[in-house]
């Protein structure tokens, strides 16, 4: 069984959301602004970091980003996503122009791993479970220390409360350390598409915090494994926390089905199959 971090995020937000996203594997035909910008922004950053990893000077790695952005733009006819691309391209260029890349080397770029969960638990139910995870970039600093970094393209700054409780980069730090990397820092780099500001939120983790995070994560994965093993998906429950519904892509089919209606037409016309494999 493979479970990805994004599955745990969806599951904890709302099991029904998990059902649409990971059982039916659907996404809206019109992706939201944030999602569309995020996908393009990550694509451009990936090209840049791969250039550095290949040993290119910063200017040449930046040129790779320009070529990739042009490929996105060169779609024939009117391209409604052009504005999104220009925003994120501007931000990525700003990041490149204002950052000193000489103090570290790029160790890993968008590499997908499968981490055996039995490294964290001896629960027999989880003995064959692997965690699929893809760190955006892992940087090797002087002294053999590593930083794992995640990029977020956001339209609204995160609150301190949200930042305090964001576990993704810390979990990746735990996985990578178990794999033999000496990761001592995790960070999130925010690219704000409304204000054009770039900020970094750095984090460090005590061993005790790491153990608590592992424990919480294992419990969430356990719930998903039990769900995958047998519950009828049509009966997947909705969250009672309606706050999670305001930004949910699946509000329309979810509400129709909650009223006992057939949502197949809504799903057919407003959603498409998501071919992205979260777990491989
Ligand atoms: S609308 Fe609310 S209850 Fe329905 S899937 Fe989304 S988060 Fe869950």
Q: How far apart are CA 83 and CA 62, in angstroms?
A: 20
Give the residue whose CA is nearest to atom 5 of ligand 1: 17
One digit per residue, the tens of pLDDT, for the chain of length 280 reads 999 999 999 999 999 999 999 989 998 887 666 667 888 899 999 999 999 999 999 999 999 999 988 887 776 655 556 777 888 999 999 999 999 999 899 999 988 999 999 999 999 999 999 999 999 999 999 999 999 999 999 989 999 999 988 899 999 999 999 999 999 999 999 999 999 999 999 988 999 999 999 999 999 999 999 998 876 556 799 999 999 999 899 999 999 999 999 999 999 999 988 876 655 4
Q: How far does the centroid of ligand 1 lie from the alpha carbon of residue 122, in Å? A: 33
Closest to 120 (Cα-Cα) out of 222, 224, 6, 211: 211
- Best residue among 10, 17, 258, 259 to mutate for probing ligand 1's pocket (most ligand atoms within 8 Å of CB) is 17
Closest to 213 (Cα-Cα) out of 182, 181, 179, 171: 171
Atom of ligand 1 minimally distant from the CA of 249? 6
Cross-strand partners of 130: 2, 116
The per-residue b/e assignment along 142-172, b for 16 or more CB within 10 angstroms, e otherwise, is eeeebbbbbbbbbeeebeeeeeeebbbbbbb
Atom of ligand 1 minimally distant from the CA of 254? 4
User: In the chain, which ranges are E strands?
Assistant: 2-4, 26-28, 104-109, 113-116, 130-133, 137-141, 146-154, 183-192, 198-203, 271-273
Q: How far apart are CA 254 and CA 30, in angstroms?
A: 17
Q: How far does the centroid of ligand 1 lie from the alpha carbon of residue 272, in Å? A: 18
- Best residue among 11, 14, 257, 266 to mutate for probing ligand 1's pocket (most ligand atoms within 8 Å of CB) is 14
Which pTM value belongs to this model?
A: 0.87
Work out the end-to-end distance of the chain between its first and last CA atoms, rounded to an integer number of angstroms: 10
* Torsion angles phi and psi, residue 130, rounded to 5: -120, 145
Give the DSSP H or E segment for 256: helix 251-258
Atom of ligand 1 minimally distant from the CA of 251? 1
Q: How far does the centroid of ligand 1 lie from the alpha carbon of residue 57, in Å? A: 46
Atom of ligand 1 minimally distant from the CA of 20? 5
- What pLDDT, on the 0 to 100 scale, is given for residue 280? 45
Our CA dihedral for 90, 276, 248, 80, rounded to 10 degrees, sits at 40
* Torsion angles phi and psi, residue 241, rounded to 5: -90, 90
- What pLDDT, on the 0 to 100 scale, is given for residue 121? 97
Atom of ligand 1 minimally distant from the CA of 244? 7
Give the residue whose CA is nearest to atom 3 of ligand 1: 238
Query: What is the DSSP secondary-structure string of 151-206?
Result: EEEESSPPPHHHHHT--HHHHHHHHHHHTT--EEEEEEEEEETTT--EEEEEE---
Whose tokens are 């057939």? That residue is 262
Q: How far apart are CA 32 and CA 267, in angstroms?
A: 16
Atom of ligand 1 minimally distant from the CA of 239? 3
Q: How far does the centroid of ligand 1 lie from the alpha carbon of residue 20, in Å? A: 10
Whose tokens are 């904890």? That residue is 12
Q: How far apart are CA 183 and CA 216, in angstroms?
A: 21
Pocket, ligand 1, Cβ cutoff 6 A: 14, 16-17, 238-239, 244-245, 248, 250-251, 254
Q: How far does the centroid of ligand 1 lie from the alpha carbon of residue 238, in Å? A: 6
């Amino acid at each position: 069984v493979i479970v990805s971090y994004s599955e745990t995020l969806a599951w904890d937000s709302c099991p029904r959301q998990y059902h649409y996203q990971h059982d039916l594997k659907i996404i809206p035909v019109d992706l939201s602004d944030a999602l569309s910008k995020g996908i393009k922004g990550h694509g451009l950053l990936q090209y840049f970091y791969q250039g550095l990893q290949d040993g290119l000077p910063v200017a040449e790695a930046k040129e790779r980003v320009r070529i990739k952005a042009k490929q996105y733009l060169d779609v024939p006819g009117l391209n409604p996503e052009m504005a999104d691309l220009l925003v994120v391209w501007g931000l990525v260029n700003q990041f490149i122009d204002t950052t000193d890349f000489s103090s570290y080397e790029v160790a890993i770029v968008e590499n997908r791993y499968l981490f055996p969960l039995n490294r964290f638990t001896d629960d027999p139910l989880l003995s064959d479970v692997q965690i699929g995870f893809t760190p955006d970039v892992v940087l090797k600093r002087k002294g053999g220390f590593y930083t794992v970094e995640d990029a977020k393209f956001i339209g609204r700054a995160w609150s301190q409360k949200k930042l305090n409780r964001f576990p993704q980069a810390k979990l990746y730090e735990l996985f990578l350390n178990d794999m033999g990397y000496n990761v001592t820092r995790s960070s999130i780099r925010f690219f704000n598409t409304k204000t054009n500001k770039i900020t970094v939120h750095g984090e460090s983790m005590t061993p005790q915090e790491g153990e608590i995070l592992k424990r919480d994560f294992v419990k969430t994965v356990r719930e998903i494994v039990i769900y995958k093993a047998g519950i009828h998906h049509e009966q997947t429950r909705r969250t009672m926390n309606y706050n999670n519904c305001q930004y949910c892509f699946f509000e329309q089919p979810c509400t129709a089905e909650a009223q006992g209606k057939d949502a197949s037409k809504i799903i057919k016309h407003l959603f498409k199959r998501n071919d992205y494999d979260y777990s491989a």
